[in-house]
């Protein structure tokens, strides 16, 4: 992998990656009636083929003072993460959100007010939790990192019309395998960040993907998130997640201008449907 050119790498990813969500057909979920609980339409078919451009907005503090809001909102689809708000930050991050990737802490920890906050309404939700690498679904169901299953079931029952998926742990670990395959060192056996999960998901669903402030621009700072006063360089470089390795891979796939990366923290990636192998 590390010796592959960009095109070869893209083809490898295209053939290897399959977006998988819990479809309720495997145990223990099949026994719990999940086949009827999950959305009828698969996540991979959610957007029409007319979806051209997708923006992925990282939550990094460095996006402050970027004035990227309008450019971000001009995309067909805008992806944000966890509890990242737009209110009060529109000029820098935009105000449209089409899809939100949330880790299981958002569902399980009452401080995020998942049931009531407007952050999680009127858009597509995609949740995930770090299951064991072995992908033993029963073991995971009994002991997730944070209980996402109970709030998921409740939410599906109350809002059956909202597309809300749980990523299959197989998909998460496929992504980890990709990051490890691309690194000469052994990376930590922890799942990729929501950012990396979202970027690769968008490469499957969109024709072109623009990622903002995931690879740091010249505004790089230790401010963890644009929406809170908390400083920690691990937010950008990683501690638990293999962030540094994820970012090296994404940088290898970038075909945007060097100037856009430097000024906007913008990376341009092709959708897999446009990659000829
Ligand atoms: O911080 P978090 O991520 O919500 O950020 C979303 C994604 O943006 C990218 N990012 C963020 C900050 C930064 N300085 N540089 C960046 O590149 C990353 O790709 C990141 O994934 C997560 O991945 O789910 C994470 O979630 C938080 C936290 O759980 C949620 O924000 C909810 O509070 C994790 N922090 C803790 O658990 C304390 C974080 O490690 C990863």
The reply to whether 11 falls in a domain is yes
61 in Cβ contact with 224 (< 8 Å): yes
What pLDDT score was predicted for residue 50?
Answer: 73
The DSSP result for 116-181, as a single string, is T-GGGSSSEEEEE----TT--HHHHHHS-SS--HHHHHHHHHH-TTS-EEEB-HHHHHHHHHHHHH
The reply to whether 135 falls in a domain is yes
Domain that residue 138 falls in? 6-274
The reply to whether 1 falls in a domain is no
Positions in the chain short of pLDDT 70: none
CA angle 250, 256, 260 (to 5 degrees): 105
What pLDDT score was predicted for residue 115?
Answer: 96
Write the pLDDT tens digit of every residue in 108-128: 999 999 999 999 999 999 999
Residue to substitute in 81, 190, 191, 209 for testing ligand 1 pocket (most ligand atoms within 8 angstroms of CB): 81
Shortest-distance atom of ligand 1 to CA 105? 29
What pLDDT score was predicted for residue 240?
Answer: 86
User: What distance in Å separates the CA atoms of residue 183 and residue 186, rounded to the nearest whole number?
Assistant: 7
Q: What residues flank ligand 1, with Cβ below 6 Å?
A: 58-61, 81-83, 103, 105-106, 193-195, 214, 224-225, 235-236, 240
The reply to whether 128 falls in a domain is yes
ipTM for the predicted complex comes to 0.99
What pLDDT score was predicted for residue 133?
Answer: 87
Enclosing H/E stretch for 235: helix 234-237
CA of 193 from ligand 1 middle (Å) equals: 7
Write the pLDDT tens digit of every residue in 5-25: 899 999 999 999 999 999 999
What pLDDT score was predicted for residue 112?
Answer: 98
77 in Cβ contact with 51 (< 8 Å): yes
DSSP state of 102: E
Tokens representing residue 95 in the block: 């105000």
CA of 148 from ligand 1 middle (Å) equals: 17
Q: Look-up: residue for tokens 């006063």?
A: 229
The residue nearest atom 31 of ligand 1, judged by CA position, is: 82
Shortest-distance atom of ligand 1 to CA 102? 24
CA of 195 from ligand 1 middle (Å) equals: 7
Shortest-distance atom of ligand 1 to CA 240? 40
Residue to substitute in 193, 196, 245 for testing ligand 1 pocket (most ligand atoms within 8 angstroms of CB): 193
CA of 25 from ligand 1 middle (Å) equals: 31
CA torsion sign, 169 to 171 to 172 to 174?
A: positive
The reply to whether 202 falls in a domain is yes
The reply to whether 143 falls in a domain is yes
Helix (H, G, I), strand (E, B) or coil at 234: helix
Task: Return the CATH number at 191.
Answer: 3.90.1480.20
Q: How many domains does the chain have?
A: 1
């Amino acid at each position: 992998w590390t010796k592959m050119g960009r095109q070869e790498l893209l083809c490898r990813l295209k053939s290897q990656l399959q977006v998988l969500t819990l479809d309720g057909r495997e145990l223990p979920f099949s026994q719990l009636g999940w086949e009827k609980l999950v959305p009828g339409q698969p996540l991979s078919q959610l957007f029409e083929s007319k979806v051209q451009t997708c923006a992925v907005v990282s939550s990094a503090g460095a996006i402050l003072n970027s004035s990227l809001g309008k450019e971000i909102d001009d995309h067909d689809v805008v992806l944000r993460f966890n509890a990242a708000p737009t209110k009060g930050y529109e000029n820098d991050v935009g105000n449209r959100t089409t899809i939100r990737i949330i880790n299981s802490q958002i569902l399980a920890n009452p401080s995020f007010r998942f049931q009531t906050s407007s952050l999680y309404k009127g858009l597509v939700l995609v949740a995930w939790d770090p299951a064991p690498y072995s992908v033993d679904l029963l073991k995971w169901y009994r002991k997730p990192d944070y209980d996402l299953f109970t709030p998921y079931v409740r939410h599906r029952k109350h809002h059956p019309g909202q597309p809300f998926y749980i990523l299959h742990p197989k998909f998460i670990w496929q992504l980890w395998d990709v990051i490890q395959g691309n690194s000469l060192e052994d990376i930590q056996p922890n799942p990729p960040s929501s950012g990396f999960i979202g970027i690769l998901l968008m490469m499957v669903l969109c024709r072109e993907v623009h990622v903002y402030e995931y690879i740091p621009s010249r505004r790089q700072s230790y401010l963890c998130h644009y929406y809170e006063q908390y400083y920690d360089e691990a937010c950008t470089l990683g501690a638990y997640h293999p962030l540094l390795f994820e970012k090296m891979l994404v940088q290898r796939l970038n075909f945007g201008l060097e100037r856009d990366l430097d000024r906007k923290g913008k990376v341009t990636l092709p959708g897999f449907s446009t990659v000829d192998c």
